[in-house]
Chains A and B, each alone.
Chain A
Amino acid sequence: MTARVTVLYFASLRDVAEIDHETFDTAAPDLRVLYLELRARYGFPMPVERLRVAVDGAFARWEDVPRDGSEIAFIPPVSGG
């Protein structure tokens, strides 16, 4: 089973990936594995433990399965305020 997902990159992740989003088909069984695959592809320095993950604009769980048509964002530690 593959799902077509759009992944958004922000802040230091965008700087490393050199893109702010991309759409592709993934067979990753969950969002943790999806991040690990992208980390291997782009060389993100941050381990999964330092990030949170969001799906369609709401915080999600690393164990969630990538859903077809969803928008996924890996959220580095925030620094607003």
Chain B
Amino acid sequence: MARFSLSEVPFDVATLRAGLLDARVGAYASFEGWVRDHNDGRPVDGLRYEAYATMAEREGEAILAEACARFPILDARCVHRTGDLAIGELAVWVGVTAAHRDAAFAACRFVIDEVKARVPIWKHERYADGDAGWLHPG
């Protein structure tokens, strides 16, 4: 089963979390990234995520495999939205299970940081003043 996936529609975190839990799990850490109503001091109305889907899935899988190799964890998953999102919608979820909390927290942080750094997904923000644009940080 793929550990990383893109979703064009809203997804349910409880279902994803339930899919990770088993008797070996002593710790579960997760990260949820939500669409907020401002960026860089500008009011935001909503946004769109565009992905180079085949590469994003491949790069995302590589990150989760790296997390499993680097940290003593049991499993790691990530789902990232694409398409149009409104304020307050869930944009990205990372879930990690481990026997102990240190590894779960560290791997969860590693995964979201790497996803933000190297998975080919781009955010297009619509601002309250009618302007819009791609975010290309750096």
Q: Which residues of A contact B (CB under 8 A)?
A: 8, 10-12, 15, 46, 50, 54, 57-59, 73, 75-81
Contact = CB atoms under 8 A, between A and B. Distances in A.
Contact of A79 (B52, B54, B134): B134
B120 A81 contact: no
Contacts, number: 73
B124 A78 contact: no
A10 B50 contact: yes
Interface string B23-66: 00000000001000000000000000111101110100000000
Contacts of B124: 11
Nearest to B57: A57
Given A11-B122, A54-B52, A73-B52, A78 B117 contact: yes
B136 A50 contact: yes
A79 B91 CA distance: 12
A15 B134 contact: yes
A80 B80 contact: yes
Interface of B: 33, 49-52, 54-56, 58, 80, 91-92, 112, 115-124, 133-138
B136 A77 contact: yes
Contact of A78 (B54, B92, B118, B133): B118
Contact of A10 (B80, B122, B138): B122
18 contacts: A8-B52, A10-B50, A10-B122, A11-B122, A11-B136, A57-B55, A75-B52, A76-B134, A78-B116, A79-B121, A79-B123, A79-B136, A80-B80, A80-B92, A80-B121, A80-B122, A81-B80, A81-B91
Contacts of B54: 57
Contacts of A73: 52, 55, 120
A81 B120 CA distance: 11
Nearest to B31: A81
Contact of A12 (B92, B134, B138): B134
Nearest to A46: B136
B58 A78 contact: no
Highest count of chain B CB atoms <10 Å: which of A46, A76, A78, A79? A78
